[in-house]
Amino acid sequence: MLFQNRYQQAVKFLCSLIPKKTSLKILGAIKISQKKESITYEATDLDNFLRVRLPLWGDIEGDYVVDANQIRKAPKMIATKILAEKVSFGNLSLPTQDIKEFPSLETRFFKSPVWEQPCFSKNDFLKVGKRACNYTAQDISRGVLEGVCFRNGFFYATNGQYLLKAMVGLKAKKGIEFTVPRMFFKLLSNEFVLDDEIDLSVFMADKEQGYIVARGMSFELVSKLVPGEYPIIERVLPKEMPHVFSIEREPFLEVAKKAVLYANKKSHMAEIFPLKDGNGLGVKVSNKDESIEFIEKIEAKQISKKTWEGCAFNAKSMSVILADAPGGIVTFKAGENKLSALTIEPESDPGLFFLLMPLRTLEEDGQENPDSNAKPEGKKEPAAQK
């Protein structure tokens, strides 16, 4: 029963990679290599290659390719007869596909990794990686922003409006960085992967083509890295952030949610500013399209001494960040300029950092942000909201 459950999990794992729509029929198939002491299953969508191995014992050996949906119906794990045209599982026979058409991964450059991390905690990797996936761009036209960048011990993710920077325990020499696709984290989250620790490595075929590999006791997952140079996030940060506030996260979140409810549905614009009596911050929505005015107070302790004029922000993006931030207290920081980036740092997790680009009001439309004028050659920065 244990092996039967693992077999069902393995097939489900492989089928999670099968494209729902594809013009290549072979991508809807699973390749199976049956030996007397083990069976290896393979699936691919051409960007990801998954290999699963189960220690199963049988008398028949052979390699074949069958439709993924049909193999899920097989009553037995081991084929009892393997022929060129069909394969039998007891009283069920399935047609085979041309094994030569099944895509194989080019492995000639998989000998010397440019980076590797053996025996790393799968849970730690996924905890940070899956959180970062929520901040990536969902639009395929955004290129490298679709993935999660590993750089200097941190995962970075941004959609150009808000950003996550989270510390991860992976180690690498200076200059080693790569962008991991969201699908890699999704596949590693599958229930089939029971490993507490996994081996991670990165291989480069050339400047534009690289792969990240995860290996465990019974699986190997290879995913193409997202090509392109990831933005240098630090370039959008103000050189100084003189305005610092300590705020309770949950009340701040509740006010942000209300602001989303009342704000313009396209811009979700709200304003945040210090109260005149110095006892906290105010959040205001002026939705002229619907003639709605909303204002509510947030209890906040100002840590800095300089007077802040406030700024406009996307209330929906702010609510996403505050809902994700752990702990009870967050540190809210703002730059000198109204168009400088805002940051939110959870007090309970110093390795976690959120950035939110402000919105331009009509009065600020002609201004420029002096803190982010310089753009490094070959790099693109996250675009501020408009």
- Compute the mean pLDDT over every residue in the chain, rounded to the nearest whole number: 90
Whether the pLDDT of residue 142 is over 60: the answer is: yes
Beta bridge partner(s), residue 40? 33, 53
Dihedral angle over CA of 166, 169, 174, 175, nearest 10 = -60
CA distance linking residue 145 with residue 136, whole number of Å: 6
194: three-class secondary structure by DSSP: coil
Ranges of CATH 3.10.150.10 domains, the chain: 2-101, 115-230, 234-372
Q: Closest Cα to residue 252, out of 214, 213, 301?
A: 301
**Mean pLDDT, residues 208-227:** 95
Contacts of 307 (CB under 8 A, 6+ apart): 274
What digits encode the pLDDT tens for the residues 76-128? 888 999 999 999 998 999 999 999 999 998 888 788 999 999 999 999 999 99
Residue with tokens 């993935």: 147
CATH 3.40.50.300 fits 234-372, yes or no: no
Whether the pLDDT of residue 371 is over 80: the answer is: no
CA atoms within 13 A on the CB side of 340: 20
CA distance linking residue 219 with residue 217, whole number of Å: 6
Confidence of residue 234 (pLDDT cuts 50, 70, 90): confident
**Phi, psi dihedrals of residue 54, rounded to the nearest 5°:** -120, 140
Q: Top-level CATH class of 2-101?
A: alpha beta
What digits encode the pLDDT tens for the residues 249-284? 999 999 999 999 999 999 999 999 999 887 899 999
CB atoms within 10 A of CB 198: 22
Q: Look up residue 260 and give its two tokens.
A: 């989303």
Q: Closest Cα to residue 328, out of 343, 351, 346?
A: 346
Confidence of residue 74 (pLDDT cuts 50, 70, 90): confident
Q: Closest Cα to residue 344, out of 240, 241, 239, 254?
A: 241
CATH 3.10.150.10 fits 115-230, yes or no: yes
Confidence of residue 369 (pLDDT cuts 50, 70, 90): very low
CA distance linking residue 67 with residue 89, whole number of Å: 14
